[in-house]
Amino acid sequence: MELKLDLNREYGLVLEGGGAKGAYQIGAWKALREEGVKIKGIAGASVGSLNGALICMDDLDRAEEIWKNIDYSQVMSVSNETMEALKKKDFKSLNLQELIAKGFQLVKDGGFDITPLKDLIANVVGDEARIVDSDRELYSVTYSVSDHKELVVDLRKGEMGTVKDMLLASAYFLAFKNEKLGGKRYMDGGGFNNVPLDVLIDHGYEDIIVIRIYGWGADKERVVKIPDGTKVYHIAPRQDLGGILEFDKKQARKNLTLGYYDAKRFLYDLAGRIYYIDAPKTEPYYFDKMMSEMELLKLYMKDMIGENGLEALSGYRVFTETLFPKLALDFKLKEGWDYKDMYLGLLEDLAKRLKVKRFRIYTVEALLFEIRKKIHSLGEEPSF
């Protein structure tokens, strides 16, 4: 496998806001860090600012520990049991009278009490000198309600004692109780500039990696003009990361893993939509390989034309004109697909149906081996 980034260059990192989805960013950063990608600076909104602080301090162990063990009570003054019951709609286990009373109090107070989040930020940052003296720049986006304007805060240039406040200011989600910080009120920066790519461009960055998590307001993203000579790369999930306020350790651990492997996909230009496949050869190679593995194709043909029809198959036309167009629709291949796309779609569909382990980087041969091993373990050909 060949790395697509130049490790001699320094990169800016843009971290989107998205609350509980933020675990994905730490998984992606872990992969970048493993491969030696140099991070010069970070611009973040909301949870992106909090993760940015951890990256600025280069504290991967702490970042993983936080996200692997996150729960509702570490962010808001609520019961984990209550939030889980609400999520599962398990109303029998709830004390409705108490819940209603808390609901009225919540409205009266103006939102969830986030004292636990304040404590978490204080614990994460610890000595603010680790950020102020860091070699990495850190920009946090927030909105000053008091001044009626968006703010981009350079946290390395702030006075000691303000770093924690500005990180909290960027994360003041609408559902949270909003209290004054330094005599002013702030709102979640994600509501105004959730993907602060423009911040790094304005500061002269020419190589930028954007880690998407599709937080709130994704449909109202700011249009950013990319200057000539500036390269912008994206790492983004292809599946749902859960809710913005779904602070559940099981979901967070899934997102950590997904972020890690999606970053590997980006770094090595891996193929596959579900799996992570090193497939560097061209279309003719995969067409020949597909046609030489007739037993796999016949698993699909059996359901289409029956056992008797299989015996009558001859030539490639029945595949190219009948089977492949149908499978392209079934596999949801992009318009203009080629036979490499078809072959990899075939392998991924079989692997998914046979429950082959997803989170691993496969060569085509290794994935094919796992598929055949699964089929053999069934004792008979599966019917699709």
Residue 184, helix vs strand vs coil:
strand
Do residues 75 and 83 lie in contact, with contact meaning Cβ atoms separated by under 8 Å? no
Residue 241 to residue 244: CA distance in whole angstroms = 9
> Could you tell me which residues are beta bridge partners of residue 15?
44, 211
Helices (H), 171-282: 190-193, 197-202, 249-268
Catalytic residues: 46, 188
End-to-end Cα spacing for the chain: 33
> Could you tell me which residues are beta bridge partners of residue 248?
71
Do residues 164 and 186 lie in contact, with contact meaning Cβ atoms separated by under 8 Å? no
Output the furthest CA–CA distance in the chain (Å, rounded): 82
Do residues 330 and 303 lie in contact, with contact meaning Cβ atoms separated by under 8 Å? no
Cβ-in-10-Å burial (0-12, 13-18, 19+) of 7 comes to exposed
CA distances from 26 to 49, 160, 195, 211, 213 (A): 12, 26, 16, 10, 11
Positive or negative, the Cα torsion across 159, 165, 171, 173? negative
Exposure string of 259-284, with b = 16+ CB inside 10 Å and e = fewer, is: bbbbbbbbbbebbbbebbbbbeeeee
